[in-house]
A and B are shown apart, each in its own frame.
Chain A
């Protein structure tokens, strides 16, 4: 496609198509969007991040990522739609404009490119990275159990053959370390929103311990508003709360790491499930999913803008 106006947001795309589309988006919005590379994957694919910025130096920032679990295709597809929406709404939507007039947004759409390619070529239901585990025939680490936050606890597996294998040590996965290094190096990231599918939840720390975060009430109220605004679009019902209370113990996860490293507004989404398809949601679900997620995302981002710290 030569323009974002001809890109089919209602289809699933390969990594080459997505990476090409990123360049098109940058070309269409050269004064707002740029593409940066924060590292390389295990199989040496570039880890690209879209930067939305209207200027300034090291502004406070919001980090978004989609697709750390590659089989969750609706997530990356929602990421593409959302990135385009951010670019298109700047200067039109007052909330997006206000956010980007003060803050930068960093958006990693294909957080686990090796796994994503593997879901297209070899195993549609692949969840992990593609790194080799010494002494085991099983490949890959669950990159959302590999963060240095309660790493190696009971909410992850020490078995390399498990879907929730935490890896040999925290940040052993290049895909994880690249993000951690970027956020720590930036030093001014105020919100991390890590997007998954599919359980219809909006969650916040902690996953590795039962103690509530100090601003639990604020996070809970924000989550409540966000899921309410999401439900107003198509009636999709989300649950919300801390990860430990809402799902289960999960050790070494991204948003816990972000929170423990000073990012107060750390959330993770679990996008929609029709109750029939799971990770194999038909592409007809992409636009509705992205559309309903948008107001919830905006709620979180506006709250971050209005509550500087």
Chain B
């Protein structure tokens, strides 16, 4: 079973076309294993990136060094998954 402990989902908003392009470049860096949940489309529209725990420093540095604004949408993916599982077990018991 794959665990997602410490993985975060970042909501990123590109300010211009150049930043949209930079986000696409970020997605092409296979070693970072960034999983785009919502892809960058145009300036002002949010993109959501699941970032493995091990890649968080590199990705955040990339965003900050390119002045791309972001917020943390999900602090810890595994916590949400655990909560989802608890809900399903409870529902089934009911």
Contact = CB atoms under 8 A, between A and B. Distances in A.
A163 B73 contact: no
Interface residues of A, number: 26
Given A279-B37, A280-B81, A125 B4 contact: yes
Interface in A108-138: 121-125
Interface in B39-94: 39-41, 48, 50, 73-74, 77, 80-81, 83-84, 87-88, 91-92, 94
B73 A276 contact: yes
A198 B38 contact: yes
Interface of B: 1-2, 4, 9, 11, 30, 35-41, 48, 50, 73-74, 77, 80-81, 83-84, 87-88, 91-92, 94
A210 interface: no
A31 interface: no
Contact of B74 (A11, A276, A283): A276
8 contacts: A11-B91, A11-B92, A12-B91, A124-B84, A161-B30, A199-B38, A278-B50, A280-B84
A248 B84 contact: no
Nearest to A281: B84
Interface string A261-298: 00000000000010111111011000000000000000
Given A122-B1, A123-B2, A277-B74, A246 B41 contact: yes
B3 to A, nearest CB: 10
B91 A283 contact: yes
B87 A283 contact: yes
Contacts of B37: 198, 278-279
Nearest to A273: B38
B88 A11 contact: yes
B75 to A, nearest CB: 10
Interface of A: 8, 11-12, 121-125, 159, 161-163, 198-199, 246-248, 273, 275-280, 282-283
Given A122-B1, A159-B30, A278 B73 contact: yes
Given A121-B1, A163-B35, A8 B91 contact: yes
B35 to A, nearest CB: 6
B91 to A, nearest CB: 4
B94 to A, nearest CB: 8
A280 B48 CA distance: 13
Contacts of B50: 125, 278
B2 to A, nearest CB: 4
A246 B83 CA distance: 33
* Residue in B37, B39, B80 with the greatest tally of chain A CB atoms within 10 Å: B37
B88 A278 contact: no
Nearest to B35: A163
A161 B35 CA distance: 11
